Amino acid sequence: MNQTKKLLIIDDDPDFVAGMKSILVKANYEVDVAYNPKDGLQALQTKPYDLLLLDIMMGRGAEGIMIARKLGKDPKLRNLPVLIITGIREQMAFLFPGQAVHPHFVAVDELVEKPVEPKLLLEKVEALLKTAEARKGQSK
């Protein structure tokens, strides 16, 4: 393996984050955390990350979706792979009526439901990183 991958978690539930972070840290990832969308966006602007884990249902509404939409519009961040974490599938369907439940905000993203089994979490993170890398290689 080359250098340690840097991940950012944006999620407003510190306890949930703790449970995710320890799994990722144990698997040798470097993990930063932002507990609100504002800090999250700032972190993304100031530090390069290899992957974002994004809670889609933060705060009152779907503030996570706002972040995902912003990422999609940002030419620098558009290629950042995103693992979307959602509390419940029905809400996703409700927010995107008539669409596939997985909305594809950015080029490389995946969706998992809370809570996430460690094995599944690590598999998804690894797969997303691999896909993003392969895309980078292609575009060069």
Partner 1 sequence: MRPKHKILVIDDEEVVLDSCTQVLSAGDCHVATAPNGTDGLKLVETFEPELVFIDLKMPGLSGFEVLERLRTNHPEIEAIVITGYATVSSAIEAMKKGAFDFLPKPFTPEELRLITRRALEHRELARQAAALRREKEMLRENFAAIVSHELKSPLGAIQQNLYALIDELGDKLSDEQKDRLVRLKKRVDDLLNLIHSWLRVFSVDLSKLKENFRPLELATVVARAVDIVHQHAVRKSVEIEVAVPGDLPMVSGDEGSLTEVVVNLLNNAVKYSFANSKVTVRAGTQDGEVFLSVIDTGVGIAKEDLKHLFQDFGRGRKQPEGAEGCGLGLAISKRIVEVHGGSIEVQSEPGKGSAFTVRLPVARADMDVVTNPSTGSQT
Q: Where does this chain bind partner 1 (CB under 8 A)?
A: 13, 15-16, 18-20, 22-23, 26, 57, 87-88, 90-91, 94, 100-101, 114-118
Residue 79 CA to residue 50 CA, distance in Å, equals 10
Looking at the Cβ atoms of 75 and 97, the one nearer to partner 1 is: 97
Tokens of 27: 């698997």
Q: Smallest distance, Å, CB 91 to partner 1?
A: 6
Residue 45 CA to residue 47 CA, distance in Å, equals 6
3-class state of residue 103 by DSSP:
coil
What is the chain's percent helix, strand, coil content, to nearest 5? 45, 20, 35
Looking at the Cβ atoms of 39 and 117, the one nearer to partner 1 is: 117
> Which burial class, exposed, middle or buried, applies to 137 when counting CB atoms under 10 A from its CB (0-12, 13-18, 19+)?
exposed
Q: Judge whether 29 and 7 are in contact, CB under 8 Å.
A: yes
Q: Smallest distance, Å, CB 57 to partner 1?
A: 7
Looking at the Cβ atoms of 13 and 110, the one nearer to partner 1 is: 13
Q: Smallest distance, Å, CB 20 to partner 1?
A: 6
Looking at the Cβ atoms of 71 and 105, the one nearer to partner 1 is: 105
Looking at the Cβ atoms of 17 and 71, the one nearer to partner 1 is: 17
Q: Smallest distance, Å, CB 114 to partner 1?
A: 4
Q: Which one-letter DSSP state was computed for residue 36?
A: S
